[in-house]
Amino acid sequence: MKTTLCRIAGTPLTTVVDFGRQPLGNGFLEPHQFSGEYFFPMEAGFSEASMMFQLIEQPDPEKMFHDHYAFYSSTSNYMARHFKEFADQVLRSGYLVKDDPFVVELGCNDGIMLKNFAAQNLRHLGIEPSLNVAREANKHGVRTCSEFFTEQLAESIVAEHGQADAFLAANVMCHIPDITGVVRGIKKLLKPTGVVMFEDPYLGDVVAKTSYDQIYDEHVFLFSALSIRYLFGLHEMELIDVQPQTTHGGSMRYVLAHRGAYPVGDSVVRLVAGEQEQGLDRLATFESFRASVEESRTKLVSLLRDLKARGKKVAGYGATSKSTTILNYCGIGPDLIAYISDTTPIKQGKCTPGMHIPVVPYQTFKEDPPDYAVLFAWNHAEEIMAKERDFMASGGKWIVHVPEVRVL
C-alpha cells in the first residue's frame, strides 16, 4: 500500500532514498516463477512531525507473511541465547504479577523466545501470522495463534485470557504498517501495571553505519526513541526505559507502560538527547545518509567488478532478507556472485529475489569455497567468523559493507 502521508502524524512524507524497483526481501523463488515475480517501487521517507523513518509503499502483508515464510528465527544459536536472556530479564523484572502472570508475544516466529516461558509453565500466548513458523512454535510447546494482531484480536484475547502483564515483540513492530492499530490493541490488552518490551533494528545504528540493507519491504519503519516516544505518547503511554542491543547490527529494546505507571528512566533522557545530537529528528540528516548509501553502492560494485576482472571466485554467505536490497539496488547478479550459501532448507535450491542468484546448502560453501565471500549475514559476524576459521586459514577472504565496504 502506498502513502504520501506519515502513517503516524498524517502530515506529508518526504522521500529520502529511492531504491528503485525491489522484489520481496524473502521472496526466494524457482526459475519457473521468474516471469510472474512481484516488484514494487521502494522509497524510504521521513516525517519531521513524527520523526518516523518509513517506507512510502509497502506490499500487502499477505504477500510477505504466509504459510511458506522463509525466515526461521532459530537458524542462529546466538539469537537463541539472546532470546533466552530477554525472557530471563522479563521473568526477573518485577513487572509480572506473582500470581499467574500472563505474557503475550507478537510475531513469536518458531517460538524461539516464548519456549522459555512455556518451559516454566507460565501462561503465554504467541501471535504469529505466518502459519508454517507458527506450527513450528506449537511443536515446541508454545501456545500460538496464527493471526494478525488487531484491536479486535486484543479484545478477544482479553475476553478469553484476561489482560497481560507483559507484551513482548522482537523484530516485529517495525514490520506493521497499521502500528497505530497495534498500539490501540496493546492499550486494551495491557494491565494497568503491565509493560510493553520490544526490540527492533535501531535507526541510529542504520544511519551511523550506513546499514541501508535494513530497509526492505518487511521493515515499513525504522524506529528511534524519539519516534517511539511520539507514537506511544499519542495513546497515553510512556517510554520508561531503553536498552541498546548488539543484535541485527544494532537494535534497541524499548520498555513502555501506561502513562504515569512507572518513572521515566535516565536511559530515555540520555538517548533522546543523543538522537537530537545525531539529527534523527531532522530531514537534513537523511539527505547525507542518502549520499553515504550511494557511495557504499559505488564501492561495492567496483570491488566486485575488479575481483571478477582478476578471475576471482566470489560467493555470498547468508541469503538474508537484507541482501535483497543490496543485490537489487546495486544490480549484483550471478555474473558477480556465483552462489549464496544458506543453512535454511526452505531457501536452498531456490534463487534470490530479483537478481536470481542460486541459493545453495552450506555444504557447497564447505566443499567448493570461493576466494571471497560477501558476508550478507554481517549481523551474525561473530558467530560465523568463529565457525569459519578454516575458510580464512586456507586464504578465503570476507567482504563486508558495514560500516564501510572493505575486505577482511
Give burial (CB, 10 Å; 0-12/13-18/19+) of 332: buried
Beta bridge partners of 53: 46, 222
C-alpha span between 166 and 227 (Å, rounded): 21
Residue (101 or 250) nearer to ligand DWN, CB: 250
Rounded Cα distance between 130 and 109, Å, is 8
In the numeric block, which cell numbers belong to residue 205?
A: 545504528
**Nearest-CA neighbor of 347 among 377, 326, 372, 371?**
377
Nearer to ligand DWN, 74 or 180 (CB): 74
- Compute the least distance from the CB of residue 247 to ligand DWN, in Å: 8
Give the nearer residue to ligand DWN in terms of CB position, either 178 or 383: 383
Q: What is the DSSP letter of 263?
A: P
Q: How far is the CB of 76 from ligand DWN (least distance, A)?
A: 4
Would you call 140 exposed, middle or buried from its count of C-beta atoms within 10 A (0-12, 13-18, 19+)? middle
Which CB atom, from 206 or from 319, has the smaller least distance to ligand DWN? 319
CB of 81 to ligand DWN, least distance (A): 12
Least Å from the CB of residue 170 to ligand DWN: 8
Coil, strand or helix at 331: coil
With respect to ligand DWN, which residue has the nearer C-beta, 133 or 268? 133
> Where does this chain bind ligand DWN (CB under 6 A)?
71, 75-76, 171, 218, 248, 318-322, 342-344, 362, 377, 379-380, 383-384
**Rounded-to-integer distance, Cα 385 and Cα 62, Å:** 36
C-alpha cell at 87: 525472557
User: How far apart are CB 321 and ligand DWN at their closest, in Å?
Assistant: 4
CB 319 to ligand DWN: min, Å: 5
Phi/psi for 72 (5° steps) reads -105, 120
Compare residues 1 and 346 and give the one whose CB is closer to ligand DWN.
Answer: 346
